[in-house]
Structure 1
């Protein structure tokens, strides 16, 4: 057997072992256990509001950097589950590429419904914009990023200007945004867990990112699993990308065959990066997106 074939076999075997192990324990716990801690300095549980869920963690790259780009990350969980502590592997991945990562909690259903969790996201972005220089980040290089329902949060904050306006900011203050397997056009709602979050059957049309397209939207990088069974990539990522292009907004949309809905974000972890170049694409997008002259 050739050496390359051996390596390919070992990667597949490792991936299969990891995926099998996740059946016996939490996948996120396993990924975080395998995450190194020498690439970042972690500042935990910083409040951006008064509610216990209005807190965030900051991952500052190590060795020290100056004026680094900043990514605020929102996790998924159908707006009714999730914790910032579950996403150490995301913070480490971004910090290892010289990016200051902010992983934010936000209030969930049933405590709140739409649009309260988006208002939390806006407050987390405002806190980051005002304070990130203390953590070696440059607020003029500010990006939003999310997975699944977190990608929806990032999309709404980037596309609906009223959300950031409420905290004294604008989509022009963002250099770009990144969506992983995001639901951007999902009415009428079929998922029973999501229906009450958006007041089904009276879900407001303005809750949909695809209804907020304008030429002023920041550049976007949309990635999805080509065989995603939970969030249709053709309707959501491809559909949003098409509308953004029609409006003249710079957008890339990429689709990966080895990943599924959940493993798309898991490719940011070191053991599963072979499943798809998600981290490389994020790094290139953050590095190559032109400076927004209007950013503050």
Structure 2
């Protein structure tokens, strides 16, 4: 009897500790679970680096051991309402995409309250510049760069892909982008009705200029927009609206809405042990494989059918 009570108490304490850890840094917990259940998958943390003087302007670079150069590069930008988050917490992204033969760069950026718009876009573009400049040394292809982000990070990567001034300012040619993956991202959220958006964007004199949808165009790099129908943090309307806008301009865009997923679920699906039971990784790899042999100009001409449900 006492033995069973001890087990119950131990499980309860473990559960409470896990909930506290998730509340403090959910992605870090996810990374630890991924490492324990999935192992290294042959991926290694190749380098910790900085692309700027601010402590938040840091990078973690992952690569699969024994692979042949040059490999495509995947630059991932984390979420966190533009006010929190750390590349150190996203090793599961580095491991799992390095295992798929990408040189994977997990990038941080300066956060509120230290900065506001457009610092997150400037920093994300600077991270791309760093990756491109160091591609050969890292075993990557400087003209096959994929961008991926979750939530606020999806805003960042889609924003710099659609509005060319940010990459131009860093000397990164548009043809270097192979494509962009936005996961649960906000792209059309003015008027600002949340504290996080008011904090980071509310002081900008032209608020509509802060919205990625304002820069929808037909000649941008191909976009894959992933979202959950049950997402109440960043409603799927954002992805639907941007997909329609890009398609109207004749651009290359694909939209996937998962009926049973909430805001973080597509991100969780990229970690072990959930990765083998969800289709998100397969969807991303199908997208990158589809455009792997395309130049940006070839990929941007055809208008791809938007793949979405009717809701």
Q: Does the pair score TM above 0.5? A: yes
1:97 aligns with 2:100: yes
- Cα shift at 1:196: 1.6
Counterpart of 2:239 in structure 1 is 237
Extract unaligned runs of 5+ from structure 1: 1-17
For 1:89 and 1:217, locate their aligned partners in 2 and report how far apart those are by CA, in whole Å.
29
Q: Find the partner of 1:128 among 115, 128, 131.
A: 131
For 1:173 and 1:47, locate their aligned partners in 2 and report how far apart those are by CA, in whole Å.
21
Counterpart of 2:268 in structure 1 is 266
1:1-296 mapped onto 2 (5 Å cutoff): 22-26=18-22, 27-34=26-33, 35=35, 36-200=39-203, 202=205, 204-233=207-236, 235-273=237-275, 276-289=278-291, 290-292=293-295
Moved more, 67-76 or 33-42: 33-42
For 1:70 and 1:128, locate their aligned partners in 2 and report how far apart those are by CA, in whole Å.
8
Contact 1:159–1:209 (8 Å) recurs in 2: yes
Moved more, 123-132 or 192-201: 192-201
For 1:273 and 1:242, locate their aligned partners in 2 and report how far apart those are by CA, in whole Å.
29
* CA spacing shift, 1:273–1:42, aligned 2, 3 Å: same
* CA spacing shift, 1:39–1:245, aligned 2, 3 Å: same
Contact 2:41–2:99 (8 Å) recurs in 1: no
Q: Deviations over 1:178-231 (max 9, x none)?
A: 000000000011111221210258562111000001222110111001111111
Contact 2:177–2:296 (8 Å) recurs in 1: no
- Cα shift at 1:57: 0.8
For 2:188 and 2:271, locate their aligned partners in 1 and report how far apart those are by CA, in whole Å.
28
Contact 2:63–2:99 (8 Å) recurs in 1: no
Contact 1:73–1:145 (8 Å) recurs in 2: yes
Which secondary structure does the structure 2 equivalent of 1:270 belong to? coil
* CA spacing shift, 1:201–1:49, aligned 2, 3 Å: closer
Bigger-Rg structure (1/2): 2
Contact 2:157–2:180 (8 Å) recurs in 1: yes
Aligned residue-pair number: 277
For 2:276 and 2:17, locate their aligned partners in 1 and report how far apart those are by CA, in whole Å.
17
Contact 1:38–1:62 (8 Å) recurs in 2: no
For 1:21 and 1:275, locate their aligned partners in 2 and report how far apart those are by CA, in whole Å.
26
Structure-1-length-normalised TM-score? 0.88
Contact 2:135–2:141 (8 Å) recurs in 1: yes
* CA spacing shift, 1:100–1:185, aligned 2, 3 Å: same
Contact 2:121–2:160 (8 Å) recurs in 1: yes
Structure-2-length-normalised TM-score? 0.84
